[in-house]
């Protein structure tokens, strides 16, 4: 489902967006120096796919990695995703443990 959709970095609203069947899922962020703080994950109830959240977050993390930014997950859901996916832990700033 996520593969067919386009991930958009809406820097004006400071959020990553993906549109699925006329529903907008988003991750709000704050950018400071070379760190991106992922503050809020919003997935509409209409998106029922169990793997959507994981796939959406993976897509966002890949885009952040391409920009060579460190990630600070301030949302509990996003922190849980990082804890369960070791490969993204290397994107955390030095000294930050979750």
> How does pLDDT run along the chain (98 residues), one tens digit per residue?
566 578 999 999 999 999 988 899 999 999 998 999 999 999 999 988 889 999 999 999 999 999 999 999 999 999 999 999 989 999 998 877 77
Q: What is the pLDDT of residue 48?
A: 84
> Within a domain: residue 40?
yes
Q: What is the pLDDT of residue 95?
A: 77
Q: What is the pLDDT of residue 1?
A: 57
> Within a domain: residue 95?
no
Domain around 44:
8-89
| CB 83 within 8 Å of CB 97 | no
> Within a domain: residue 38?
yes
> Within a domain: residue 31?
yes
Measure the CA–CA gap between 88 and 62, rounded to whole angstroms.
9
> Within a domain: residue 96?
no
Provide the edge-to-edge strand list for the sheet that holds 23-32. 8-10, 15-20, 23-32, 35-42, 70-73
Residue 15 maps to which CATH number? 3.40.630.30
How many domains are contained in the chain?
A: 1
> Within a domain: residue 49?
yes
Q: How far is CA 81 from CA 5, 21, 87, 91, in A?
A: 21, 24, 11, 13
Q: What is the pLDDT of residue 36?
A: 96
Angle at 70 between CA 78 and CA 36, to 5 degrees: 65
User: How many other CB atoms are found less than 10 A from the CB of residue 59?
Assistant: 18
Q: What is the pLDDT of residue 2?
A: 65
Which pTM was predicted? 0.90
């Amino acid at each position: 489902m996520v593969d067919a959709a386009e991930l958009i970095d809406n820097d004006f609203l400071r959020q990553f967006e993906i549109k699925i069947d006329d529903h907008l899922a988003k991750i709000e962020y704050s950018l400071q120096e070379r760190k991106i703080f992922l503050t809020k994950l919003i997935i509409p109830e209409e998106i029922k796919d169990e793997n959507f959240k994981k796939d959406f977050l993976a897509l966002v993390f890949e885009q952040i990695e391409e920009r060579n930014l460190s990630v600070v997950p301030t949302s509990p859901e996003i922190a849980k995703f990082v804890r369960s996916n070791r490969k993204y832990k290397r994107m955390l700033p030095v000294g930050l443990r979750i």
